[in-house]
Amino acid sequence: MTKQSLALICFLAVSLTARLEAKLHLFLDERLRGSVHEKVLYKFIPLTSAQEVDLVYVSDFLQVGNAAKAASKLGESDRGIYLGADRWPGDSDIGKLIKSPEWFTMLGKISFMVENDAPEYAAMPRGLYPRGELWRKFAQLTGVDYAGNLNLHFLEARPVSLEKGKWQRAVCVASAMSADGAKTKSPLEWGVSSLKLNFRDTKQLAYLGQHVCIDAPGGHTLAELRIARTDVALSADDGRFSVWNEAQPLRVTLSSDRLITAPLHLKLVPQSLSEPVDFFFQGDRIDCDKASRCRPAAANFLLPQPKELTAHHELAIRSSGTAYFRGTLQLLAGSIEVAKSEVRFTQHSWLAETLYALSHPSEYQGLFLLLIAAVIALIALIWLLLHQIGRLRARKLARENMPPARQTSASLTIRHGARLHLTAVDNPFGCELVDFGGIVDIELAEAGFSVRHGNGAGGTWPLGQVKYRLPDGYEIQLRPLADGNYLLEVFLLSGKDSSPTSAKSSQNPQTALRGA
């Protein structure tokens, strides 16, 4: 064995001996007597594998003389930690101490733990530490492994890795915990190298706050935990029931300041309802009757794990259009109420539902299909009516624009008081008299039958059968009929090749035309 090896072995042996004989002195400020810090020290230090720890109460320790005197009394391998109620940079004693020559001789002997009031960007002087790093410094000076300081929230259910140690079991000391909380099952589930939170009972909320934990058995690794309450907000939109759409959407918004990984349930607590109401969510159903009882008894829905800080869920609420519902939605983690929100659904409103249907057509597909079919049928009916009216008008215009028939004979039934004006085209027969060249006025009165044409030509005859021939070859005949009516006939005597046709109806309201 070489001289270098022997020297190294001797150095390690001396160092180990010094390490085992080293003592840690905890200088506790008298102002912290009876505080949480004192209680945690008394409970936790005996659980660790630290060989020798001495707790000393001190006053005015940060005065230069007192601190230097305490440092001078420490053994060569001893170390000290001062835990005080002083504040940096506010206390003047701290400023005087770090500026004194004795400060540099104490740097390797005593670590000063005080309350840090400086901003995060302002570094503390060397040898001065925030009071929250007590256990990190304690592990460093006693040889205990430090597994880290974990900041968790009680709705975080994912395993958290620990830096060091084998954590089959652990013993924790809390900064504050009620007696009931100490008796309940711990929500801390330790793995070989991980920690998982499982808050399911309201009594477990006593575990919120600061914890310092040591592995058991052994006490060789410690870890600090800070478990905070998760800020969660739950809101639900009020709505109205529908007579068109059977199920109405109940929109629920879940917001939190941290990502939630614990399973959450949404519980329905009805307070007032006029008719039975049903709720649906992802295939599950809850029925609530008029007595404010819901089935199944738990009356809650399991929510999917949110992927973001804000999650939107949509339930379906079903009842008649005249129903009313008022209740509370509770967000639960086990039996722990995380958040709650009031919800209300009122009776149907035609205006509100019409506006809602127009803005959410996908929820009223059946109704909109019927409306579209009715509109199409109405448009088709109006088109058919307009088309038929157009055809009738076209036929009427065609008849009006059709030239009158050309005839050589016509007849007309007349009564007493009838006055007729005859030309080839303008006549009461409704036809054109071929080769009729005169302008004839005819009058049937009680005194007789008169015919006038030309320059005063014509005559008047007693009522009876009358025949009068015009210069153009037409003959006018009057024959009495029954009931005081007379038949007036006009025909062309010389038109042998012409075939008499029936005349059209007269335009005189007091006469009626009959075929010749």
In a domain, 151, yes or no: no
Return all residues near 413 (Cβ < 8 A) that are at least 6 apart. 481, 485, 486, 487, 488, 511, 512, 513, 514
Tell me how far apart the alpha carbons of residues 50 and 169 are, in angstroms, rounded to a whole number.
19
In a domain, 452, yes or no: yes
Residues 292 and 339 in one domain: yes
Residues 371 and 294 in one domain: no
Residues 330 and 364 in one domain: no
CATH for 275: 2.60.40.10
Q: Strands (DSSP E) along 154-240, which ranges?
A: 160-161, 170-174, 188-190, 194-197, 209-215, 221-228, 232-236, 239-240
Residues 26 and 121 in one domain: yes
**Structural domain containing residue 103:** 20-142
In a domain, 411, yes or no: yes
Q: Which two structure tokens, joined as six digits, stand for 492?
A: 């062309």
Residues 379 and 340 in one domain: no
In a domain, 149, yes or no: no
Residues 244 and 349 in one domain: yes
Residues 432 and 397 in one domain: no
Cβ–Cβ under 8 Å, residues 265 and 302: yes
Query: Model-level pTM?
Result: 0.62
Work out how many domains the chain is built from and give that number: 5
In a domain, 471, yes or no: yes
Residues 195 and 252 in one domain: no
**Identity of the amino acid at 38:** E
Residues 390 and 375 in one domain: yes
In a domain, 53, yes or no: yes
Each of the 516 residues of the chain gets a pLDDT tens digit; together they read: 444 444 434 433 434 344 445 789 999 999 999 998 899 999 999 888 877 889 999 999 999 889 999 999 998 889 999 999 999 988 999 999 999 999 988 888 999 999 999 998 889 999 999 999 999 999 999 889 999 999 999 999 999 998 888 888 899 998 876 655 556 788 999 988 889 999 999 999 999 999 999 998 888 899 999 999 999 999 999 888 887 767 788 999 999 999 999 999 999 999 988 889 999 998 899 999 988 888 887 788 999 988 899 999 999 998 888 888 999 999 999 999 999 999 999 887 777 667 667 776 776 677 778 888 999 999 999 999 999 998 998 888 877 776 777 888 888 888 888 899 888 888 888 788 888 888 899 998 888 889 998 877 888 888 888 898 888 888 989 899 888 888 989 988 864 444 443 333 443 333 333 332
Tell me how far apart the alpha carbons of residues 294 and 285 are, in angstroms, rounded to a whole number.
10
Give me the DSSP letters along 384-446. Answer: HHHHHHHHHHHHHHHHHHSPPEEESEEEEEE-TTEEEEE-SSSSTTSEEETT----EEEEEET
In a domain, 13, yes or no: no
Residues 389 and 323 in one domain: no
In a domain, 9, yes or no: no
Residues 319 and 373 in one domain: no
